[in-house]
A and B are shown apart, each in its own frame.
Chain A
Amino acid sequence: MWWKISAVVLLLLVFLFGLLVPLYPGLTHAAPDTVAPGASFVLQIQGYNTFFTRAEAPVRVWLVHEGRHVLASGSVQAVDEVTLEARFEVPATMPVPASSLPLDLVVDDRLHGAMFLPNAVRVQSLSGETVAAADSLWRLAEVRDLHRNEDFRFTHIPINYESIRNLYFHVPMWMVMFVLFLLSMWHSVVHLRTSDAIADARAAGYAEVGLLFGMLGLVTGMLWANYTWGAPWSNDIKQLMTAAALLVYLAYFILRASFDEPEKSARIAAVYNIFAFASLVPLIYIVPRIFSSLHPGGEGNPVFNREDLNVNMRLVFYPAVLGWTLLGLWIARLRIRLSILNEQLMDR
């Protein structure tokens, strides 16, 4: 009973904090996004959750190429809470031989802390030809003494924005699925050792609810992907592998249904279930680490990293995983109690 109450309390807290804690202030876009070498221009910067008019001077703005070549803004002016204007003089030379130079935007002040927008502006030579390199003008400024925002907030990640909150809803689905499939496999092992029909019912119940959570993980992932990666399905390695894993478990239920003798069916299903779980681990935990993925956590993905999942987000994420897992166990046990009653009724 206590764990059912914990599930409800934890999830309640996760919904409250997960949805109500604001994101850190951040930058969404900047205009113009392309400028010519030697240009003098005013960069209009759009903020999110910002209060630019309330920021104390100095508000410092930089354009940075690969962290080394830096342009500092001459003057910065707040237009309104979410719009900032910064004047820049672009040198006529590029810091490295290139026809096109991507620049990251950094805005820093004490109220907001440092804010970043990768690839905000591009210096593009008009003729498309490579511009001679002379980096002395690109080394006059330095990005330093950045402020840190210490408020209790969630990470602002460009493109994701508020959808980062899906961390507490989409991601735990996979953890629940894994725990339920693990329990299912364990009961299959017990069934093979004891031939206990109840162990088989448990294995089937945990697998069924595990599959439900796996499917929820897949569809919520597709929705999230549609608005961050641009398409619901992009043959990402993790998408492919989880789809394969879910099919393996779908086959478990087809296998169960395809034998007339219940005892034989239970035995074969138990053996298959152990293999299914053994295939789940490489499919979900090993193969996606070998290939590059759009998902965070793997190599070649600079968008999310360990720092992005900041302490505040972990504080909500871990209870979310625990809460959803307990809810999954609860639903699975309801299913199992039903199967056991069914079994007992048949025996009478």
Chain B
Amino acid sequence: MKFFSRRLFLTIVLFHQLYLPEVRAQGSGDFMRETGKIGVVVGVILLIFLGLILYLVRLDRKLTKLEQQINDQHERTH
């Protein structure tokens, strides 16, 4: 599993390095400054998405901790 994810990571990094310059050469250069600036909207939506997901992950961890506490208490009382 660990090996797999590491390979996946490397593939993504290589892909990024190999193919991105080509894409850049075709476009006008800067995704964010391209005519229309739609990249800025993509960026804003991604930031909001990431922010909410990170918060939910934190909430998830707190909930897991609470579940463990409840389980511990349950075992002690029985």
Task: Give Cα A228–Cα B52 distance, bound, in whole angstroms.
Answer: 25
The interface residues of chain B lying within 8 Å CB-to-CB of A48 are: 35-36
Whether A335 pairs with B59 at a CB distance below 8 angstroms is yes
User: Counting CB contacts under 8 A, is B24 at the interface?
Assistant: no
Whether A331 pairs with B52 at a CB distance below 8 angstroms is yes
The interface residues of chain A lying within 8 Å CB-to-CB of B8 are: none
Whether A219 pairs with B36 at a CB distance below 8 angstroms is no
The interface residues of chain A lying within 8 Å CB-to-CB of B69 are: 345
Which of B41, B52, B70, B73 has a CB less than 8 Å from the CB of A163?
A: B41
Whether A219 pairs with B41 at a CB distance below 8 angstroms is no
User: Counting CB contacts under 8 A, is B37 at the interface?
Assistant: yes
Task: Give Cα A216–Cα B50 distance, bound, in whole angstroms.
Answer: 10
Question: Within B36-66, which residues are at the interface with A (CB < 8 Å)?
Answer: 36-41, 43-45, 47-48, 51-52, 55-56, 59, 62-63, 66
Shortest beta-carbon distance, A304 to chain B, in Å? Answer: 15
**Chain B, interface size: which category?**
20 to 34
User: Counting CB contacts under 8 A, is A17 at the interface?
Assistant: no
Whether B44 pairs with A220 at a CB distance below 8 angstroms is yes
Interface of B is mostly: helix
Interface of A is mostly: helix
Whether B51 pairs with A219 at a CB distance below 8 angstroms is yes
Whether B36 pairs with A223 at a CB distance below 8 angstroms is no
Which of the segments A112-120, A165-173, A292-300 contacts the partner chain? A165-173
**Contact A348 B40, CB 8 Å, known A169-B45, A341-B66:** no
Q: Mark A205-243, 1 if CB is under 8 A from B, else 0.
A: 000010010011001100110111000000000000000
**Chain A, interface size: which category?**
20 to 34
User: Counting CB contacts under 8 A, is B33 at the interface?
Assistant: yes
User: Counting CB contacts under 8 A, is A161 at the interface?
Assistant: yes
14 further A-B contacts with Cβ under 8 Å, apart from A223-B40, A345-B73, are A48-B35, A162-B36, A162-B40, A162-B41, A163-B38, A165-B41, A169-B41, A169-B44, A169-B48, A212-B51, A224-B44, A228-B37, A331-B52, A338-B62
Please list 30 pairs of residues, one from A and one from B, whose beta carbons are closer than 8 Å in the complex, sorted by A's number: A28-B35, A48-B35, A160-B37, A161-B36, A161-B37, A161-B38, A162-B37, A162-B38, A163-B38, A166-B40, A166-B41, A166-B44, A212-B51, A212-B52, A216-B51, A219-B47, A219-B51, A223-B43, A223-B44, A223-B47, A224-B40, A227-B37, A227-B40, A228-B37, A228-B40, A331-B52, A335-B59, A338-B63, A341-B66, A342-B66
